[in-house]
C-alpha cells in the first residue's frame, strides 16, 4: 500500500470548499462520491470551528469562501496554514482531506483515435492544472 501524500493547507481548503467552486451540485457529484462530499462538509466545519474568533479576517473569509470566492479560499488557506503549525490539528485535517481525496471518482472513459497518412495525434486527460501538449520543430541552425 502506498503511503498517503501530505496535503498542504491550500489543497485542504480547496477540498473543503470544492462544492462551492463548481457552478452546480451536479458537477461535484460527477467527481466525488457521496461520502466524500459529506466529508467536505465535516472538514469545512472543522476549519470553521478552528478559525472562528482567532483571526480578524477569518469570519469574513469563511463566509465569502462559501459563496465560491476563490480569493477568500486563498485567505482561508493562509489562515489554515498558520493553524496547521499545531501538529495534532494538522494531522486531523490532513486525515479528513485524505478521505475526501480517496473519494474522487476516477475517469474510466475510453479515448479512441484513428490516425492515418503518417499523422501524429495526442490524447490526454487532465484533471486540474494546464497541459502543454505537442511538438516543437526548429528548422534553423542552432550553431553560433
User: Element (H or E) spanning 44, and its range?
Assistant: helix 34-51
The residue ranges of every structural domain in the chain are 9-102
Q: What is the CA radius of gyration of the chain?
A: 20
Distance CA 6, CA 144 (A): 47
Residue 65 or residue 31, greater confidence: 65
Distance CA 96, CA 16 (A): 10
Distance CA 114, CA 103 (A): 34
pLDDT digits (tens, 9 = 90+) for 74-130: 999 999 999 999 999 999 999 999 888 887 766 666 777 777 887 777 777 665 556
Distance CA 116, CA 58 (A): 58
Contact assessment for residue 16 and residue 51, using Cβ atoms and an 8 Å cutoff: no
Closest CA to 19 of 100, 82, 88, 124: 100
pLDDT digits (tens, 9 = 90+) for 24-40: 556 666 678 888 888 88
Cell of 49: 470551528
Amino acid at each position: 500500500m502506498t503511503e498517503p501524500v501530505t496535503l498542504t493547507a491550500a489543497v485542504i481548503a480547496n477540498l473543503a470548499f470544492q462544492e462551492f467552486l463548481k457552478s452546480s451540485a451536479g458537477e461535484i457529484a460527477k467527481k466525488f462520491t457521496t461520502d466524500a462530499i459529506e466529508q467536505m462538509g465535516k472538514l469545512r466545519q472543522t476549519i470553521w470551528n478552528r478559525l472562528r474568533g482567532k483571526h480578524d479576517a477569518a469570519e469574513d473569509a469563511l463566509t465569502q469562501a462559501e459563496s465560491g470566492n476563490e480569493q477568500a479560499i486563498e485567505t482561508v488557506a493562509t489562515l489554515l496554514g498558520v493553524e496547521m503549525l499545531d501538529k495534532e490539528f494538522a494531522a486531523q485535517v490532513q486525515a479528513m482531506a485524505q478521505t475526501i481525496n480517496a473519494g474522487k471518482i476516477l475517469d474510466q472513459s475510453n479515448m479512441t483515435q484513428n490516425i492515418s497518412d503518417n499523422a501524429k495525434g495526442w490524447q490526454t486527460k487532465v484533471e486540474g492544472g494546464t497541459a502543454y501538449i505537442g511538438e516543437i520543430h526548429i528548422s534553423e541552425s542552432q550553431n553560433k
